[in-house]
Structure 1
Amino acid sequence: MAPSTTKRTRSERVASIQLEPSSLHRWLRQFMTSKNLLQVALAIIAAVLIVVILQGWRPAFAYREGQIPQRDIVARVAFDMIDSGQTELLRKQKRREVLCYYENRSQPIAQLISTIKNKFSSLLGDTPYAELTAEQKKTLAEFMPAAVGEADLTEAEALSRIRLLLDERTKLEGGKFDQALKSVLDPIAETGVLKSIGHDSEQGN
């Protein structure tokens, strides 16, 4: 008895010769599940939030700390930094460059001339040296020279020479004595004499 044979349809014959699905196809089939799709959606949402928070659409800053650019950079605002050391140096320099003006007060010179005349006036007269008061002797000692030639000049001799030079009181005013005082002290009264500087050299010149 001959064995029975079954006839397959055309579609069955085509299906029998089809290749097995590739590994990529199998992976996609396994991946396309509801659980995996939910995880992908959450990842996309998280990425979008990060981009929004970090403002990722802005261009990245081209320079880093410590880097020296090869060209000038135009800043939007002016950058100022106070240099305390340089500022103090400039202040001192400006103080040194200040010109100081001094007022010439000639009143002390006029008072000195009057004082000298009064002292010489107290020594005039006929009173001998021994009868002079202590104040008159002190005044005479102020005008005593250190030495004359080889011998010292005594107080009595100095007194007589002063009286011989100024034998009349009127010669103290308008005479040679007055002219001698003015010739010495008038230039000082005109230009002035600075006894000491009342400030440091760093505060002006």
Structure 2
Amino acid sequence: MTAEPDETGPTEWVAREEVGVGPWEGEWPSDERYDPELLENGDRRNVVDAYRYWRRSAIVSDVDSRRHPFHVAIENLQHDHNIGTVVRTANAFAAAAVHIVGRRRWNRRGAMVTDRYQHLEHHADVSGLVSYASASGLAIVAVDNTPGSVPVETVDLPRNSILLFGQEGPGLSEDAQASASLVVSIAQFGTTRSINAGVAAGIVMHTWIRQHADLKNAW
């Protein structure tokens, strides 16, 4: 079941005149991946140059052909504003999907429109996520600095996995922690008790990338 973003927040990366390209110059390409409206009016979207003028469906299809087998899940119990940032980072690393656990609606502001190209799923509670993981052969890796957690810097993350993050502040719920086959933490050396949830998600996703991704496929 697809998670619904709020209808608030920006619809593009920055002011339209500051990014992208103008109308296509010369004879139009015949490739069906190209969008006639974008060719005529220009492409001001937040996409890499390789996808300029492409239809959204063509972009999603191309990313689908090379997505990584890790998923990202985040609990949405208090309308966490970090979820948009997590979605944006998951898109950057070509995660298979992002799972919103708890409240269906989430604030898309931090996603910067990348949610249009990222598969999103919704689960009413942790048990729904667990059922999905079991049916899909995915190990749940919880991320929290709780007693008994293992430093992510010292472990090999499962290739086929769901990286599960909690709310900003309270962290993972007890159900979420109990659902995991592995709980990892991020090494800290300062005074703060925890790292921002969006930052933590980026660190752990990049750890997966360093361990498993083929860097020849990076832009």
TM-score if structure 2 supplies the norm length?
A: 0.18
Structure exhibiting the larger radius of gyration computed from Cα positions: 1
Hey, which of these two has a bigger chunk of helix by percent? 1
The structure where strand makes up a greater share of residues is 2
* Structure of greater relative contact order (alpha carbons < 8 Å, 6+ residues apart): 1
